């Protein structure tokens, strides 16, 4: 008997939705992408903040961390933000808060940090339990003022227990002044900081003339103004970048030459590119590498004396150094010149959009004007209420005896209130008919009646009454002003410009970043004095160059200590042959010079050799008629002219190999001796070089020795003119050995 389905089971079956997997994944991913774009990564054009930044500042406002108050532990702010408004990791919240406190990122930090908040050199901030913070004065004035005037919308937080603003009531374009960066799904935002005074001037100009173009606005905003200073060197490209909302801004550090000790020259770096923040040590390492590779041979010393006073990096040069060349090397090779990827991807009405400069300012001005209209609408309503109350209090003083009679004779507050508002005297006991007659004619408003009922007796004192009269006069003046702002766009714009001018006067600072047009850096090709050097390769595959004097001092031990010892001109080339039949070229100038006992650098670092390849030979400069002997583990040999390897490519095929075969040896031939092949099984052949024809590099070769099953060639060499050679650290002579001929199985080798 079939089991009867329960109601719950039937409901579950009815809720099953059949959907295509790819459609569901696409829909879910789009939901995720939109969430990341709008709720986390991309800033709003109106207040220039991402949600986490906005929530941190709002939480600090709620905690009462004013710029004039005490500091509070950063952990407290992080906890408040995470627990009430931003349900994400505490590390990301703290990182965002620390970022807003860094004066090397911002010309005007939004958070006033106290304690170790890191450094421009890349040091991280201390843990949130150690540092303290409060709001900076500019964030209060620029972003958090007037929140009590219904100026922006509030929405419930994630658990519907708190309220948070959808946007902060910015009074100047924070997106330009503070800049931002964010990475979302499929898009990024990267806005540099700008000069506050210039941005305020542009905003004021746009209030006067809403039709200003980006070109016209750039008469006020010259370009980015980085907290680290520096020099923007592509001024002519900035208009196009600001029109499209995307482009690359080239910025250099500031460096000048000063006289050093003992007649030397000091290159002093006082400002760095904004992109170098956190990577000054990397810059120092880059300079050190340039010195090691002889790209900057004039550098004597490098010192980083940066501190609280600012950046000061000193690069000491020799007396006769080429200053311009060394400065250009810093720009070109050490990243003292870099590009800032400007990308004005911002949220407008909840949607991301690439914005030109005029649109950024126009959308801000629209928001600014609307928010100020809301502000003055709220203030007008408050002033009207305040004036109404004060008019009622003043009128109440004139009939105070009657009001006292009403209060004394009424049974309830409602009865007294009805009398003051409508003259209803029924049920109220008056002592005199005159008071009752006056009471019947009262017509206070409800607001006035409530104020009278709450009025303290001290208000009856003459001086107190004068205060109320003056307050009424102030209210009426404010009402006239607010009504004027709301009824006249011209008057409102004038007021907005006055407010902007006050912000500028209070916070504007001189521009830090210079903007110029310069030509791209061109490096002079260094004049290399041609000289003989020696390339040493150890058994681990590390290579270095030594000069002739060092070679002469260590000539007795060099062949014991190193696998390959090669004479080469410093303008020449080296060739690395591998078991896999490849030839890798190395320019001698790319190999660092070193001392005899220095380790050197891996061959992979100065060539296209990979860690999976095994090199069998390193050879030096060839003459066109030189010849190479290739011997493979499979017993094949061939003779190739070196002109076959004359190529501009770093890597070429050196020989053709049969399947499973590898190169056992590559030998430069002198033509003075015989060719010797020795196998793993101990068989040897010796033959004259002339018995091998000259072949192309893409040929397999001819048989050098016939191998027994499982055997392979492990050694090949050319004897000296006396027939001697060294194998396994022992010297042999082919005339004293019973050697097989070429293309035979050879003879067993006997000691």
**Which contiguous run of DSSP H or E holds residue 400?**
helix 400-409
- pLDDT tens for each residue of 332-368: 989 999 999 999 999 898 888 999 999 999 999 999 9
Mean pLDDT of all residues in the chain?
88
Q: Rounded to two decimals, what is the model's pTM?
A: 0.72
Instruction: State the catalytic residue, choosing from 21, 130, 331, 732.
Output: 130
43-57, 162-176, 586-600, 675-689 — which is least confidently predicted? 586-600
Tokens standing for residue 131: 């540092």
The CATH number of the domain holding residue 575 is 2.120.10.90
- The strand pairing partners of 566, in sequence order, are 535
Task: Give, in order, the Cα–Cα distances in Å from 270 to each of 183, 228, 313.
Answer: 31, 9, 7
Question: In this predicted structure, which of 133-137, 147-151, 224-228 has the lowest mean pLDDT?
Answer: 147-151
Whether residues 568 and 709 share a domain: the answer is yes
Say if residue 726 is in the same domain as residue 577.
Answer: yes
Say if strands 514-515 and 231-232 run parallel, antiparallel, or are unpaired: parallel
pLDDT digits (tens, 9 = 90+) for 525-562: 666 678 889 999 888 889 999 998 899 999 888 888 88
Do 503 and 598 have their domain in common? no
Burial degree of 223 (CB within 10 A; 0-12, 13-18, 19+): buried
pLDDT of residue 460: 62
Between 473 and 728, the higher pLDDT residue:
473
What pLDDT does residue 1 have?
A: 45
CA distances, 144 to each of 57, 102, 105, 137, 172 (Å): 8, 19, 21, 10, 12
Instruction: Say if residues 558 and 597 touch (Cβ distance below 8 Å).
Output: no
Asked, for residue 493, whether it belongs to a domain, the answer is yes
Q: Are residues 649 and 716 in the same domain?
A: yes
CA angle in degrees (0–180, nearest 5) for 497-502-505: 120
Integer Cα distance of 627 and 688 in angstroms: 14
Catalytic, 715? Answer: no
The answer to whether 326 touches 267, Cβ cutoff 8 Å, is yes
φ and ψ of 154, to 5 deg:
-115, 145
Q: Given this model, what pLDDT does residue 181 score?
A: 86
Angle (CA) 126-130-134 rounded to 5° is 100
Q: Are residues 662 and 542 in the same domain?
A: yes
Give the domain-ending residue among 492, 507, 522. 507
CB atoms within 10 A of CB 198: 22
Kindly report the CATH number assigned to the domain that includes residue 294. Answer: 3.30.1360.40
**Average pLDDT rounded to a whole number, residues 456-484:** 83
Angstrom distance (rounded) from CA 450 to CA 397: 15
CATH code at position 117: 3.90.199.10
Q: What was the pLDDT predicted at 33?
A: 46
Per-residue pLDDT at 37 exceeds 70: no
Q: Does 151 have pLDDT greater than 70?
A: yes
| C-alpha torsion angle, residues 121, 123, 125, 130 (rounded to 10) | -120
In a domain, 303, yes or no: yes
pLDDT higher at 375 or 2? 375
Residue 56 φ/ψ, nearest 5 degrees: -65, -50
Per residue in 622-656, pLDDT tens? Answer: 776 788 899 999 999 999 988 888 777 888 888 99
Question: In which residue are the tokens 């789009």 written?
Answer: 30
User: Same domain, yes or no, for 412 and 559?
Assistant: no
pLDDT, tens digit, 9 for 90 and up, residues 177-236: 999 887 766 678 899 999 999 999 999 999 999 999 999 999 999 999 999 999 999 999
The DSSP bridge pattern shows strands 542-547 and 601-602 to be: antiparallel
pLDDT band at 22 (very low <50, low <70, confident <90, very high): low
How many C-alpha atoms does 693 have within 13 Å on its Cβ side?
7
Domain boundary among 306, 335, 364: 335
Structure confidence at residue 88 (pLDDT): 87
CATH code at position 473: 1.10.268.10
Q: Residue 370 has what pLDDT?
A: 94
What is d(CA 626, CA 628) in angstroms, rounded to the nearest whole number?
Answer: 7
pLDDT given for residue 408 in this prediction: 86
- Predicted local distance difference test score (pLDDT) of residue 36: 46
Burial class, 547, CB count within 10 angstroms (exposed 0-12 / middle 13-18 / buried 19+): middle
Token readout for 646 is 């004359």
Element at 604 (helix H, strand E):
helix 603-606
170 vs 369: CA distance, rounded Å: 11
- Per-residue model confidence (pLDDT) at position 262: 82
What's the domain range around 675? 532-748
pLDDT band at residue 252 under the 50/70/90 scheme: very high
Q: Residues 341, 248: contact at Cβ < 8 Å?
A: yes
The answer on 407 and 312 residing in a single domain is no
Angle formed by the axes of helices 446-454 and 413-422, to 10°?
130
pLDDT score of 93 more than 90: yes
By the 8 A CB rule, do 316 and 310 touch?
no
When divided into structural domains, the chain yields a total of 4
Among 10-14, 407-411, 570-574, 705-709, where is mean pLDDT lowest? 10-14
CB neighbour list of residue 662: distance below 8 Å, 6 or more residues apart: 579, 580, 581, 632, 633, 634
Q: Is the pLDDT of residue 17 over 70?
A: no
Residue where a domain stops, chosen among 149, 170, 191: 170
Predicted confidence at residue 463, as pLDDT, reads: 54
Q: How many Å apart are CA 157 and CA 363, to the nearest integer?
A: 26
In a domain, 307, yes or no: yes
Q: Which of 742, 736, 744 is nearest to 686 (CA)?
A: 742
Q: Tell me: do 497 and 544 sit in the same domain.
A: no
- Kindly state the DSSP code that residue 106 receives in the 8-state scheme: -
Q: Which residues contact 354 (CB under 8 A, 6 or more apart)?
A: 244, 245, 246, 343, 344, 345
pLDDT of 27? 56
547-600: pLDDT as tens digits: 988 999 998 888 888 888 888 888 888 888 899 999 898 888 888 888 888 888
62 contacts: CB under 8 Å, gap ≥ 6: 80
């Amino acid at each position: 008997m079939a089991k009867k389905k329960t109601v719950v089971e039937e409901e579950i079956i009815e809720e099953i939705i059949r959907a295509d997997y790819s459609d569901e994944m696409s829909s879910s991913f789009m939901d995720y992408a939109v969430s990341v774009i709008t709720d986390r990564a991309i800033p709003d054009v109106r207040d220039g903040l991402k949600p986490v930044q906005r929530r941190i500042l709002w939480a600090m406002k709620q905690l009462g961390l004013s710029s004039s108050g005490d500091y509070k532990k950063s952990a407290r702010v992080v906890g408040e933000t995470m627990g009430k408004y931003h349900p994400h990791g505490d590390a990301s919240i703290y990182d965002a808060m620390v970022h807003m406190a860094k004066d090397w990122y911002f010309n005007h930090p939004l958070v006033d940090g106290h304690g170790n908040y890191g450094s421009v050199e890349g040091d991280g901030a201390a843990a949130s339990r150690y540092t303290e913070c409060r709001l900076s004065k500019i964030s209060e004035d620029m972003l958090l003022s007037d929140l009590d005037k219904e100026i922006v919308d509030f929405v419930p937080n994630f658990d519907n227990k708190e309220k948070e603003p959808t946007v902060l009531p910015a009074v100047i374009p924070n997106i330009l002044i503070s800049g931002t960066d964010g990475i979302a799904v499929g898009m990024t935002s990267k806005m540099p900081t700008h000069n506050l005074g210039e941005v305020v001037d542009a905003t004021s100009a746009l209030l006067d003339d809403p039709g200003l173009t980006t070109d016209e606005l750039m008469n006020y905003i010259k370009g980015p103004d980085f907290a680290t200073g520096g020099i923007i060197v592509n001024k002519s490209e900035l208009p196009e970048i600001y029109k499209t909302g995307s482009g690359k801004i080239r910025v250099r550090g500031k460096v000048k030459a000063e006289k050093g000790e003992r007649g030397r020259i000091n290159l002093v770096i006082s400002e760095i590119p904004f992109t170098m923040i956190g990577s000054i040590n990397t810059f120092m390492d880059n300079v050190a590498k340039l010195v090691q590779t002889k790209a900057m041979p004039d550098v004597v010393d490098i010192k980083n004396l940066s501190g609280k006073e600012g950046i000061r990096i000193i690069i000491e040069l020799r007396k006769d150094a080429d200053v311009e060349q060394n400065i250009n090397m810093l720009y070109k090779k050490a990243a003292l010149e870099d590009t800032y990827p400007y990308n004005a991807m911002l949220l407008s009405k909840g949607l991301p959009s690439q914005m030109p400069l005029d649109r950024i300012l126009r959308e801000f001005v629209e928001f600014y004007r609307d928010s100020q209209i809301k502000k003055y609408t709220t203030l007008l309503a408050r002033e009207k209420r305040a004036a109404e109350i004060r008019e009622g209090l003043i009128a109440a003083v004139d009939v105070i005896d009657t009001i006292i009679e009403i209060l004394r004779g009424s049974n309830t507050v409602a009865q007294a209130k009805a009398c003051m508002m409508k003259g209803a005297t029924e049920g109220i006991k008056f002592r005199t008919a005159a008071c009752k007659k006056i009471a019947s004619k009262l017509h206070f408003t409800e607001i006035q009646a409530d104020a009278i009922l709450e009025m303290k007796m001290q208000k009856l004192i003459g001086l107190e009454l004068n205060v109320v009269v003056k307050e009424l006069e102030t209210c009426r003046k404010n009402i006239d002003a607010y009504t004027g702002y709301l009824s006249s766009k011209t008057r409102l714009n004038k007021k907005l410009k006055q407010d902007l001018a006050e912000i500028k006067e209070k916070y504007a600072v001189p521009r830090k970043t210079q903007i110029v047009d310069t030509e791209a850096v061109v490096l002079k090709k260094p004049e290399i004095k041609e000289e003989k050097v020696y390339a040493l390769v150890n058994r681990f595959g590390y290579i270095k160059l030594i000069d002739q004097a060092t070679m002469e001092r260590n000539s007795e031990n060099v062949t014991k200590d190193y696998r390959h010892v090669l004479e080469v001109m410093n303008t020449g080339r080296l060739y690395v042959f591998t078991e896999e039949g490849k030839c890798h070229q190395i320019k001698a100038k790319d190999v660092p010079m070193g001392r005899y006992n220095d380790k050197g650098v891996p061959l992979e670092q100065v060539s296209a050799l990979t860690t999976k390849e095994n090199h069998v030979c390193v050879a030096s400069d060839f003459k066109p008629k030189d010849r190479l002997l290739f011997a493979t583990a499979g017993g094949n040999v061939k003779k190739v002219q070196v002109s076959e390897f004359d190529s501009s490519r770093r890597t070429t095929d050196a020989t053709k190999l049969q399947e499973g075969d590898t190169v056992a040896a590559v030998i430069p031939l002198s033509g003075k001796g015989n060719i010797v092949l020795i196998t793993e099984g101990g068989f040897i052949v010796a033959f004259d070089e002339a018995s091998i024809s000259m072949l192309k590099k893409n040929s397999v070769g001819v048989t050098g020795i016939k191998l027994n099953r499982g055997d392979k060639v492990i050694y090949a060499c050319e004897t000296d003119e006396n027939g001697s050679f060294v194998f396994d650290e022992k010297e042999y002579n082919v005339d004293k050995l019973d050697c097989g001929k070429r293309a035979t199985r050879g003879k067993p080798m006997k000691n």
